[in-house]
Amino acid sequence: MDKKKVKDYMTYDVVSVDFHGTAKDVIEKIQKTHHDGFPVIDGNEVMGYISARDLLFVQPTTPVEQVMSSNLIVADPDMDINDAARVIFRSGIQKLPVVDEKNCLLGIISNSDVIRSQIEHVSPEKVFNFITTLKKLYGVDPSLDRGTIPVADLLPTQSKIYEDELEGRIYEIKKRLAEPIIVVKRPGRTILVDGHHRALAAKRLGITALDAYIIEIREDIELGMERTAKAMNLKTLDDIQVLDYARHPLVAITHRLVRRV
């Protein structure tokens, strides 16, 4: 159940412009590459972003640093591709520069890269992959059923979710469009594997039970995700933190890093 990362889909060969250049340099690069915007770098450090629309009514001799956008959202290569999609589409931007811990440019992830990652998502169902993982890790032979699970019984294994996706799951539940959650049921525990946004959405709506794929383990063994939940002090859905979509731990704002020369 490896998650797709930004580094798996970003473009590594990035066309950029010099922080010390002029609007004329950018215009020439647009004409040459047919790109509509570029990261602005000083050496290899990202200082901002400049697009074709930033050059409207600007004199050719105007310095790049005077017309570029410096309050730029950037991402870490280890960011989940779905989180990158959330930032790109919710903020209305088309491209997200990818940087390392020193704010040096590594690549760029675009809305088309995100769409490609979703189109390529033609893998076996999560539930069957997870059953295979359980068999390999614990030597058990789980059974699979489909039924309803009380929301109050769920042990979360994810400490953070995002407000915008939570709102989307609330809408889906109201329209009866929500997918089943995935749980592992073992003696004394119902462990939430997949569907934390759906579970919290149901709780907010006052729904007491959810449709679920139920993976049942007869053996009384503690799973690794249970130990992780314990380490994060997760006991009920109320312990999950709801975050604004742009406040991802691997997202930064370049204005904190920009130095003026």
Task: Tell whether the model's pLDDT for residue 115 goes beyond 80.
Answer: no
Segment 76-82 shows an average pLDDT of 91
Looking at domain 126-243, its CATH class is alpha beta
pLDDT (tens digit per residue) in 118-134: 655 434 467 888 899 99
- For the chain, what percent of residues have pLDDT higher than 90? 62
Q: Indicate the average pLDDT of the chain.
A: 88
pLDDT band at 248 (very low <50, low <70, confident <90, very high): low
Task: Tell whether the model's pLDDT for residue 95 goes beyond 50.
Answer: yes
Note the pLDDT of residue 126. 75
Looking at domain 6-119, its CATH class is alpha beta
DSSP track, 202-217: HHHTT--EEEEEEEE-
Q: Reduce the secondary structure of 85-140 to three states and give it as a string.
A: HHHHHHHCCCEEEEECCCCEEEEEEEHHHHHHHHHCCCCCCHHHHHHHHHHHHHCC
Give domain limits for the chain: 6-119, 126-243
Q: Distance between CA 75 and CA 199 in Å, rounded? A: 28
Give pTM, 2 decimals.
0.59
- For the chain, what percent of residues have pLDDT higher than 70? 90
Amino acid (one-letter) located at 225: M
DSSP 186: E
Task: Tell whether the model's pLDDT for residue 1 goes beyond 50.
Answer: no
Structure tokens at 66: 């005077």
The set of residues, in sequence order, having a beta carbon less than 8 Å from that of 92 and lying 6+ positions away, is none
Note the pLDDT of residue 121. 45
pLDDT band at 86 (very low <50, low <70, confident <90, very high): confident
